[in-house]
Structure 1
Amino acid sequence: MHELVEFAVEKAMELGASYAEARFEEKNGTEVVMKNGNPEGLGILADRGMGIRVLVDGGMGFASTNVLTKESVFKAVKKAVKLARAASKVRRRPVEFSEENFHEVFYEVKMRKDFRDVSAEEKMDYLKRIEESVLGSGITVPMRFLSYRDFIWHKIFMNNEGALVESIIPRVSITYNLVVFEEGQMEQAPFVQRAFSGGLELIEKDEPWERALNDVKALQRLIKEGKEPP
């Protein structure tokens, strides 16, 4: 993929750009959802594309594509250059960047417990723990939306001034939305998302099942002890 990113920058410069950058991003992962105790199946997350930003005659243009072939990338480059030229004709002052020193760097977040080595059933178990914790509280929670998501986020950034930044970041999260029914009243909290850069060890350390339990207790107190505004 480095070759295609470099290709985009080189073509932009050949077409007259004074500055060019290309950014590749890719996400691959999984998602499982549970609604009111019923598993809703497994989703596969797969998304990737490239964005190109250029400066031509003091105007800036941007274009992107999710078809990662040289032909499609070159088409996006030409579009970005065309937009930049058009923008330069209507700007009162040209876009100018500060002088900076650019570097090449690679960084990666390592996982102690890699979610790629864990089955969908085991990932669903995290949601089941929330379900069991909430229902075991004795509080009536008739509506429960729970989701688990993970993905590897791969990025490559390159410009014509020597910058090359590549990163690989694993992301994992659990989201829940709970509705409590008490004394004829219903109370719902906003969606709660516990998200981390790392592996499943961070979910286990965070214990979202305990947080969800505390949230339903708080909603129950709100119904029982809350006062209506005057």
Structure 2
Amino acid sequence: MNENIILIGAGLGQMQTNCYIAGNRQTKEALVFDPGDEGYRVMEMLEKEGLELTAVLLTHGHFDHVMALPYLQEQKPGLPVYLHEDEEDVLREPSLNLTSMFGEPVSMDADHLVKDGQILDLLDTEIHCIHVPGHTKGGVCYYFKEQGWLIAGDTLFRQSIGRTDFPTGDTDALLSGIREKLFVLPDETEVYPGHMNSTTIGLEKRTNPFLMQP
């Protein structure tokens, strides 16, 4: 296992959305997942760790996961942004990314549209893209297979799941996607959700009330 790869996180903004930074201490490259707000804090965390921001990866397009993106793009012109291909219009359309509901409408675009099952070769490790629609139609989890980490966004929480009552949500798709695509991962896989504390795949299989089999 590449022991140079690290993962740190912080809750940002009034929604306390978990933003994660994955970095390679050897190459000094870093990826930011879901920069929800307070972009200056993201840059401070990177500076503290001696890391250089090279890309942003979004689990989905909701406002509380993306509002620091313009700030980061100002600090790093040409910064690549990754998003699932089915989520492109969610990020772009204020009525879908919920900025029109919770504040000033904002439209954003991604540079790289990933597919289900695609493997990204970043940070000198492999990051697997797992499409799990339901919270939004293009929700994607990022699985660091070698490290045993899953950046889950608002798909799977500790003993809960993402809400499905926003535009493009689908409860049945979310539940089946979690069971079929996430619960097949090793039980010891650490799950890092968009809100609240981390958990493991094994714990959720045993105790998540939304997903326990009758």
After TM superposition, is the score higher than 0.5? no
Give the alignment's TM-score, normalised by structure 2: 0.22
The structure with the largest helix share of the pair is: 1
The structure with the largest strand share of the pair is: 1
Q: Structure with the greater relative contact order (CA < 8 A, sep ≥ 6): 1 or 2?
A: 1
Give the alignment's TM-score, normalised by structure 1: 0.21
**Over alpha carbons, which structure has the higher Rg?**
1
